[in-house]
Homo-oligomer: A and B are copies of this chain.
């Protein structure tokens, strides 16, 4: 079986860097222990190896079909959903009351990372179901909870998030799917939804859409959006499933991510599509943001997972492929060396490792914030909610954008073979390209970060983030080997504070469009610095370990980590120089560029 994740690194993250065991004394997590965690990880790996990875190429080569209105998917989807239901994976981080396992988010994240690395397309089905069920649990009625959630967390029914419409992709204010009130407990739905992941398939018995729509007469824009449960088959009488006038109009033929169907839906063609309001009217967007934020973090995780799989594929190849000789030893009569001995190949491998493990670390940091909110009460939760809000666009985007480059370098290690389907790199390269697009494009994430998140509550979240980084810097004090990196991170953080202030001031001084014009670059800058912080955070732990007596094998692991940290600081962090230069200019070049100047 090809390696797709490092269990050693996952345990380093969980037990050494994020110290998941520190959560155990809290009542919420008290049923757990290290043995359960280890077993959970092993089981996830086994599912990845036995069910998911063997279907990777097959699911790509036999994508969902759409015949006579039916979407057929690979049989592994049914097997995997059943396994996820029976094993408690869909509800792993729900409360015991909700049928869940109260697993720390750190652990759920580690397992989802394993699943995404094994087979990203397959990993999406249970995760979407989990998010949709969680949304009903958070805002739905008791009846809705009883009707839908048990079948969803058992893997029998699929959950989705149904937002996008033909005229409203990034602009949710413009959705026009309408919910007409009736004199009963349901609304009649009419409209179209597009790009709905797992929006229909035969791997489950029913599909439960968590859908945004506008109640007839609702206010214009986002203030008029409500949230509905719209099942493919509605429940009538005693568990009878009746077709709910919700038609699949088509599926998309995609570059990658081919194991999952992305569907177009048509609602109420026969005026008989029933939707059930979740929570209060016109509160749909704030509700949906719970699921959307989970989904955004999961996109980052998917990207990091695929990057991990690509890294290990290219590492294996680089160890085995003989080609060329050292610069100083060009005698053609001596044998060729494995390409892993060439500095440029090591550079490509270290780049992948720095991106993959740095991304995972940032995602785990977000997971830790989720767990903190579960151990704390009342106002104590707020800082962690704010940090999570702030970092969500970063944790979505850094792994997505850099993951593509990382996988591309993995492909490059294989030369011509990387371009051919004998190896999985070309598949990973195709799969990963979805991530800067779905659940809010990179451009949207940039505006979210610079236009909203760093300014919210008077910049409180940003201030908290700075404190978090400074806290890590404090922890490096006992380790002189980290001193150069502390200095680099401190300077970078100072630059980030300055440029953030500059951009916010510009917006306040009446130039909001110029201020936001390069928000994608600002997001890139923020991501590099956030991941440098994560590497330094790992640095503290690996220095601690190196100071203990270690076996040769363990020393190698920590030395490898330290080299990867150094790589990030020497090769990736310097990229902020160019970004800072540009962000400081604020000349509004792209604002003043006229549309007509593109004519030629």
Residues of B contacting A194 in the complex (Cβ-Cβ under 8 angstroms) = 416
Which of chain A's residues 150-188 have a Cβ closer than 8 Å to chain B? 164, 167-171, 173-174
Q: Does A344 contact B (CB under 8 A)?
A: yes
Residues of B contacting A255 in the complex (Cβ-Cβ under 8 angstroms) = 419-421, 426, 429-430
Are the CB atoms of A434 and B415 closer together than 8 Å?
A: no
**Which of B340, B343, B570 is the one whose CB lies under 8 Å from A516?**
B343
Residues of B contacting A253 in the complex (Cβ-Cβ under 8 angstroms) = 420-422
A194 to B415, CA, bound (A): 13
Q: Does A222 contact B (CB under 8 A)?
A: yes
Q: Does A341 contact B (CB under 8 A)?
A: yes
Residues of B contacting A412 in the complex (Cβ-Cβ under 8 angstroms) = 436-437, 441-443
Are the CB atoms of A419 and B254 closer together than 8 Å?
A: yes
Residues of B contacting A597 in the complex (Cβ-Cβ under 8 angstroms) = 556, 559-560, 563
Are the CB atoms of A254 and B578 closer together than 8 Å?
A: no
Q: Mark A545-584, 1 if CB is under 8 A from B, else 0.
A: 0000000010011011001001100110011111101100
**Which of B346, B408, B512, B589 is the one whose CB lies under 8 Å from A563?**
B589
Residues of B contacting A429 in the complex (Cβ-Cβ under 8 angstroms) = 255, 433
Residues of B contacting A593 in the complex (Cβ-Cβ under 8 angstroms) = 346, 350, 563
Are the CB atoms of A576 and B578 closer together than 8 Å?
A: yes
Q: Does A457 contact B (CB under 8 A)?
A: no
Are the CB atoms of B323 and A170 closer together than 8 Å?
A: yes
Are the CB atoms of B171 and A324 closer together than 8 Å?
A: yes
Q: Mark A429-458, 1 if CB is under 8 A from B, else 0.
A: 110011011100111001100010000000
Residues of B contacting A48 in the complex (Cβ-Cβ under 8 angstroms) = none
A contacts with B: majority SS: helix
A319 to B556, CA, bound (A): 54
Q: Does A195 contact B (CB under 8 A)?
A: yes
Are the CB atoms of A169 and B415 closer together than 8 Å?
A: yes
**Which of B411, B442, B594 is the one whose CB lies under 8 Å from A559?**
B594
A436 to B255, CA, bound (A): 20
The chain B residue with its CB closest to the CB of A9 is: B600
The chain B residue with its CB closest to the CB of A257 is: B419
The chain B residue with its CB closest to the CB of A318 is: B598
Residues of B contacting A173 in the complex (Cβ-Cβ under 8 angstroms) = 330, 332
Residues of B contacting A328 in the complex (Cβ-Cβ under 8 angstroms) = 512-513
Q: Does A481 contact B (CB under 8 A)?
A: no
Residue among A262, A325, A451, A556 facing the most chain B CB atoms (10 A cut-off)? A556
Q: Does A587 contact B (CB under 8 A)?
A: yes
Are the CB atoms of A220 and B332 closer together than 8 Å?
A: yes
Q: Which 5 A-B pairs have the closest CB atoms?
A: A221-B332, A577-B577, A560-B597, A574-B578, A343-B517
Taking A171-B325, A252-B419, A567-B589 as given, write out 5 further A-B residue pairs in contact, using a Cβ cutoff of 8 Å, ordered by the A residue number: A6-B600, A169-B416, A327-B516, A344-B519, A575-B578
A and B contact pairs by CB, cutoff 8 A, 9 listed: A171-B324, A255-B419, A343-B516, A344-B520, A346-B593, A347-B520, A349-B598, A419-B433, A567-B589
